[in-house]
Amino acid sequence: MMANTAVIVIDVQTMFFSGARSAHRADKVIDGINQFTAAARRANAPVFIV
């Protein structure tokens, strides 16, 4: 990652990713967010969850 890179995850609400009416491909979306933020942290990039 570039030295001036940060990751900002905005508005991932539990209600959209659980229950009978969860978001389309919810598991894949959450997995992707988790993989991306983990990679950013390994690269010492700041990660902000808003």
Name the maximum alpha-carbon separation found in the chain: 42
Collect all residues with Cβ–Cβ distance below 8 Å to 47 and sequence separation of at least 6.
Answer: 6, 7, 8, 9, 37, 40, 41
Helix (H) or strand (E) holding 48: strand 47-49
Residue type, 40: A
Least confident of 1-10, 28-37, 39-48: 1-10
| Cβ(2)–Cβ(44) below 8 Å | no
Q: Do the domain assignments include residue 11?
A: yes
Q: Do the domain assignments include residue 1?
A: no
Q: Which residue segment(s) compose the domain that 39 sits in?
A: 7-49
Q: Do the domain assignments include residue 2?
A: no
- pLDDT the model gives residue 2: 61
Residue with tokens 């508005």: 11
Q: Do the domain assignments include residue 22?
A: yes
**Between 7 and 14, the higher pLDDT residue:** 7
Whether the pLDDT of residue 1 is over 60: the answer is: no
Please give the tally of structural domains in the chain: 1
